[in-house]
């Protein structure tokens, strides 16, 4: 019995040491694409999961870790059994195979164990996380930051409601690639103060509720450090939410092949350390947008 316990401990230590090696070597790979990045992305990135800066992401991480521990142990056990058979039952002169050897029903226990284990994972681990991600959207009580996300080949656009708290109507006929990426209806007063940004800004302590839509093809809105990802489908508006736990600048990626420059379709996520800092950014953005609009009107009058 003690031997068995010892081997278990050895396995755990082995996994741990391999894992920590991955983490410690994580800085080694950096550099190839770093020269063009004017912005520094916060957090340590390496071979394992990237940093988790969300409030709920640890639940997904836990599930992933449990699954991999289980997979690793199963595979080691399985391979060990095969290795044992290959050594022990190699064909040798004078000893044949046993026609139908009697076997204790270990394999039946094994299949039953897998069934129960998967049921527990599905109902106990996966479903609650899924419910949090998809069903328990933040309500007004949680004071979420509402963002409209519009994907297009090959950029992300973000729109905030502005001081009136209302989003302007949109329509594809109003779209202008540069001036009006969302196609906000110029006749809708709610849209006048909408703020459009190429970066997603939010604050620690406030959930972000995104409504995702796409202008052209299917994209996928992925924020690895928030452990969220959602396909963005043209013709649909799909909600997705997350809440940041710590401030910093992070990457947003497109995860679904969307055309030739799919790989360049990235955006920045800026998490402000306080609500105040976020509001200040919003105000400065609103002011600059106002300047732009006045400038346009001047141009039109000429």
Among 12, 131, 283, 287, contact with other proteins (rule: CB under 8 A): 131
Q: Which of the stretches 1-9, 249-257, 277-285, 294-302 binds other proteins when contact is defined by CB under 8 A?
A: 249-257
**Number of residues binding to other proteins, judged by CB under 8 A:** 103
In degrees and rounded to multiples of 5, residue 230 shows phi and psi of -150, 130
Query: Going residue by residue from 190 to 219, which x/- string records binding to other proteins, judged by CB under 8 A?
Result: -------------------------xxxx-
CB-based contacts of 61, cutoff 8 Å, min separation 6 = 49, 52, 227
Residue number with CB closer to other proteins (165 or 198):
198
Among 6, 13, 14, 114, contact with other proteins (rule: CB under 8 A): 114
Q: In angstroms, rounded to a whole number, what is the distance separating the alpha carbons of residues 66 and 15?
A: 13
Residue number with CB closer to other proteins (79 or 274):
79
Q: In angstroms, rounded to a whole number, what is the distance separating the alpha carbons of residues 282 and 195?
A: 8
Q: Residue 22 is inside which H or E element, if any?
A: helix 2-24
Q: Would you count residue 90 as binding other proteins (CB under 8 A)?
A: yes
Among 1, 4, 5, 99, contact with other proteins (rule: CB under 8 A): 99
Query: Going residue by residue from 140 to 179, which x/- string records binding to other proteins, judged by CB under 8 A?
Result: ------------xx-----------------xxx-xxx--
β-pair type (145-152, 208-214): parallel
User: Could you tell me the smallest distance in angstroms from the CB atom of residue 280 to other proteins?
Assistant: 26
Angle between helices 57-88 and 2-24 (to 10 degrees): 130
Structure tokens at 140: 């007004």
Q: Would you count residue 253 as binding other proteins (CB under 8 A)?
A: yes
DSSP reduced 3-state for 107:
helix
In the DSSP assignment, the letter for residue 219 is E
Among 41, 137, 245, 286, contact with other proteins (rule: CB under 8 A): 41
Q: Would you count residue 63 as binding other proteins (CB under 8 A)?
A: yes
Q: In angstroms, rounded to a whole number, what is the distance separating the alpha carbons of residues 229 and 241?
A: 10
DSSP secondary structure of 63-77: HHHHHHHHHHHHHHH
User: Could you tell me the smallest distance in angstroms from the CB atom of residue 283 to other proteins?
Assistant: 29
User: Could you tell me the smallest distance in angstroms from the CB atom of residue 258 to other proteins?
Assistant: 6
């Amino acid at each position: 019995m003690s031997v068995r316990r010892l081997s278990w401990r050895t396995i755990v230590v082995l996994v741990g040491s391999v894992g920590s090696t991955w983490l410690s070597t994580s800085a080694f790979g950096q550099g190839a694409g770093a020269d063009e990045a004017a912005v520094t992305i916060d957090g340590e990135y390496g071979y394992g999961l990237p940093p988790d800066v969300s409030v709920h992401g640890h639940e997904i991480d836990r599930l992933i870790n449990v699954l991999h521990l289980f997979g690793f142990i199963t595979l080691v056990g399985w391979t060990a059994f095969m290795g044992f058979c290959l050594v022990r039952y190699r064909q040798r002169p004078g000893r044949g195979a046993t026609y139908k050897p009697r076997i204790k029903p270990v394999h039946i226990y094994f299949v039953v164990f897998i069934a129960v284990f998967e049921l527990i994972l599905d109902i106990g681990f996966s479903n609650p996380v899924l419910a949090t991600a998809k069903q328990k959207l933040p309500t007004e009580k949680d004071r979420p930051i509402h963002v409209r996300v519009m994907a297009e080949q090959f950029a992300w656009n973000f729109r905030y409601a502005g001081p009136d708290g209302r989003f302007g109507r949109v329509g594809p006929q109003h779209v202008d690639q540069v001036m009006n990426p969302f196609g906000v209806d110029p006749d809708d007063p709610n849209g006048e103060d909408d703020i459009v940004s190429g970066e997603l800004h939010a604050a620690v302590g406030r959930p972000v509720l995104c409504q995702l839509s796409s202008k052209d093809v299917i994209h996928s809105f992925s924020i690895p450090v928030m452990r969220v990802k959602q396909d963005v489908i043209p013709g649909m508006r799909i909600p997705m939410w997350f809440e940041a736990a710590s401030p910093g600048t992070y990457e947003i990626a497109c995860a679904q092949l969307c055309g030739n420059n799919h790989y360049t379709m990235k955006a920045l996520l800026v998490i402000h350390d306080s609500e105040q800092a976020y509001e200040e950014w919003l105000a400065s953005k609103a002011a600059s947008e106002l300047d732009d609009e006045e400038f346009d009107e001047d141009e039109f009058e000429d």
